[in-house]
Structure 1
Amino acid sequence: MNLYQCPKGTKATIKDLPQTDDLTYRRFVSLGMNIGSSICLKQKSAFGGPCIVECNGKCIGLRKLDALRIEVEKR
């Protein structure tokens, strides 16, 4: 399942990060979002807007497109 499909408040583990765009991948890694990291979906905006996730104690805003590309596994 991808991160955007998770219900609000769901805790999950990152299974796969998008490798298609090198710049986006490096941004995720620099923010501490690595494969195997725990992540929690805090909030989704209405009408397909951005979402807020917590990863390693940091709150991060993600575009819907990026959240759809991140594969996660529920804990």
Structure 2
Amino acid sequence: MILTELKPGDKGKITDVSKVTALVQSRLLDFGVLEGKEVCYKYALPFGGPCMLEACGQCIGIRRKEAMCIQVEQS
């Protein structure tokens, strides 16, 4: 399942980030978002806006296009 398929408030474990660009992977790594970590999907802004995630105790906004490339397992 992809990250954007989670409902607001759902938690998921990241299984694959290889489909996003190396720059985005590096940025996510800086925030502690990597394979095996649990994230909480907070919400997505309307009209194709960014998605808000909570990971490692901080809220992170990522583009919906990039969130659609991240695979998760719902937990």
**Do these two structures clear the TM 0.5 threshold for a shared fold by scoring above it?**
yes
Does structure 2 retain, via aligned residues, the 8 Å contact 1:54–1:60? yes
Question: Residues 8 and 20 of structure 1: is their aligned pair in 2 closer, same or farther, counting only changes over 3 Å?
Answer: closer
Alpha-carbon distance between aligned partners in 1 of 2:4 and 2:68, rounded to the nearest angstrom = 5
Deviates more, 1:42-51 or 1:19-28: 19-28
Higher share of residues assigned helix: 1
Letter matched to residue 55 of structure 2: C
Consecutive aligned runs of 4 or more in structure 1 exceeding 2 Å deviation: none
Q: Which residue of 2 aligns with 1:27?
A: 27
Q: Which residue of 2 aligns with 1:10?
A: 10
Q: Give the TM-score, by structure 1 length.
A: 0.92
Q: Give the TM-score, by structure 2 length.
A: 0.92
- The answer as to 2:75 corresponding to 1:49 is no
Question: Gaps (5+ residues) in structure 1?
Answer: none
Query: C-alpha root-mean-square deviation of aligned residues, in Å?
Result: 1.1
Q: Which residue of 1 aligns with 2:38?
A: 38
Alpha-carbon distance between aligned partners in 2 of 1:6 and 1:67, rounded to the nearest angstrom = 11
Identity of aligned residues (%): 36
Does structure 2 retain, via aligned residues, the 8 Å contact 1:16–1:72? yes
Question: Residues 29 and 7 of structure 1: is their aligned pair in 2 closer, same or farther, counting only changes over 3 Å?
Answer: same
> How many aligned positions are there?
75
Alpha-carbon distance between aligned partners in 2 of 1:35 and 1:6, rounded to the nearest angstrom = 17
Letter matched to residue 45 of structure 1: L
Question: Gaps (5+ residues) in structure 2?
Answer: none
